[in-house]
Amino acid sequence: MTTATEQGGPTSPGKRRLGVPAVTFLIVAASAPLTVIAGGATTTYSVTHVAGVPLGYIVLAVALGVFAIGYAAMSRFITNAGAFYSYIAQGLGRPVGLGSSFVALVSYNAMQIGIYGIFGFQVSSFIAEKTGAHVPWWASVLVGIVLIGIMGVNRVDFSAKVLGVLVALEFVVVIVFDVVSFAQPTGGAVTAAPLSPTELFVPAVGAAFSFGIAAFMGFESAALYSEESKDPKRTIPRATFIALIVIGGFYALSSWALALAIGVPKIVDPNGIAADEAGPPLFFGYVAQHLGTIWVDIMSVLFITSVFAALVSFHNAVARYTFALAREGVLPAGLAQTRRSGAPWAGSLTQTVTAVVVIMIFAVAGIGSAYGEAFPVLTLFSWFPNAGAMGLVLLMTLVSAAVVGYFRRDARGVGVLTRLVAPVAAVLLLGAVFVLILANFTVLLGQSEPDATTFLLPALILVPGIAGVIAGLIIRRVNPALYARIGRGVASESAPVPDATAANLLS
């Protein structure tokens, strides 16, 4: 097997252009604040009837903060675009690391491609509403794929600047919504009930947490940009914690405002939210009533750009995982190729092609579907992001365990709270969330009874991981040189790149 280095390809995806603000914007964009509030939180209220969702976001943010303690500590010693994969490989062993890399690739692809479902639906619906023209959802998606593909093969700081503008606009319009909701709450009075534990810890709390954790997916992506950050030892931990605080606080405040807009009695009443107003209509209906149709149009456009920003971020994540695996020889070396700007164009193009293939399969499958215009939302968007979120929670649980394993051999001056207590707590907390997701998977998919997708979607995430572990064990026996490279990436304090002699053994 030939490595990218032998072909003269770069050993890093790009020059170190990204500072803390740029990485923070890339993280927050993946979490899509407007999409979460207008789409995610409204759906959570509609399906679970749990009024304590704002407190739930705070609890989840704290749990992820515990995870971030060990994660950030590990990022100071490992600089690798493979992020989770490299951390797990160096903390739990190469076979588990290789398995996690396959889980990461499938999970990020599932998140990215699944989100195209809501993107295509929203764009086509908006065009139809404003012009009367009927544009198939998949046609809107293909245009989006082209735009995202172009951004993916250009400098990452260009993406950061574009996403920075879009994220700023998202925050502005949601803050406007928050102010109006607190000023004109349904029922006439502001209540702190959504922040009460008694409103959160009810029988449906598991489903609420399962919906809620998906809103944070993307916050863990800072380490993917470690090789493109100006000072990764400082940039990655700071960007991670800043993004988590901003996202968690913003979600809690805005979902509280949303509860005031809907009305707590209506939320907790199983029959309070009618089927035709469940989900985003709860948000946009209040906006239309209190701000007018012009604000509905503005927020509808920004809802679309919010989804677009998340698509760009997850596309970048897949491209960098592909690059990292190809650079080490696990995937074909050609996939590690980059442009002069440093953009991993081969990984980006691979993700683009994958997205096109999946979208066209669903386009054909949707012809004549009983779901009608809602087909991409009820299938693509409902299925894949939930499966992807499950995979990312599993990866975070494994990373927390890897922190303990990594520092067990050499504490490297890191305190016991950071290298042991916090990671163990994170394993327990995130492990519990993972179990909740599995237990509530039918709820997440909107199913009254399990069907084939209830089992196939988790298998889509878990089977590649098991296959990766088996592949790692086989590689250890048949190709020790390749095995030695797994999870090691570029030179770092803990794992220098194998020298030329070792690289030649891979050919």
* Residue 452, in any domain of the structure: yes
* Residue 467, in any domain of the structure: yes
* Residue 406, in any domain of the structure: yes
Q: Is the dihedral of CA 498, 407, 391, 231 positive or negative?
A: negative
Domain that holds residue 476: 20-504
What is the C-alpha separation between 329 and 355, in angstroms, rounded?
24
Domains identified in the chain, total number = 1
What is the C-alpha separation between 463 and 474, in angstroms, rounded?
17
Q: How distant, in Å, are the alpha carbons of 65, 84, 430 from that of 248?
A: 10, 22, 16
* Residue 12, in any domain of the structure: no
In tens digits, the chain (507 residues) has pLDDT values of 434 433 344 555 555 668 888 888 888 888 888 999 998 899 899 989 999 999 999 999 999 999 999 999 998 888 776 778 899 999 999 999 999 999 999 999 999 999 999 999 999 999 999 999 999 999 999 999 999 999 888 877 777 788 888 888 999 999 999 999 999 999 889 999 999 999 999 988 998 999 899 889 888 778 778 877 888 888 888 999 999 999 999 999 999 999 999 999 999 998 888 877 888 889 999 999 999 999 999 999 999 999 998 899 899 889 988 988 898 888 898 998 988 777 889 999 999 999 999 999 999 999 988 888 889 998 999 899 999 999 999 999 999 999 999 999 899 999 999 999 999 999 999 999 999 999 999 988 888 889 999 999 999 999 999 999 999 999 999 999 999 989 887 433 333 332 322 222 222
CATH code of the domain in which 162 resides: 1.20.1740.10
Scanning the structure block, which residue is given the tokens 């009460």?
196
Q: What is the CB-side half-sphere exposure of residue 462 using CA atoms within 13 A?
A: 9
With H, G, I as helix, E, B as strand and everything else as coil, classify residue 229. strand
Scanning the structure block, which residue is given the tokens 């503005």?
298
* Residue 289, in any domain of the structure: yes
Tokens representing 326 are: 């190809």
* Residue 169, in any domain of the structure: yes
Nearest Cα neighbor of 258 from 28, 43, 464 is 43
With H, G, I as helix, E, B as strand and everything else as coil, classify residue 451. coil
* Residue 2, in any domain of the structure: no
Q: What is the CB-side half-sphere exposure of residue 344 using CA atoms within 13 A?
A: 32
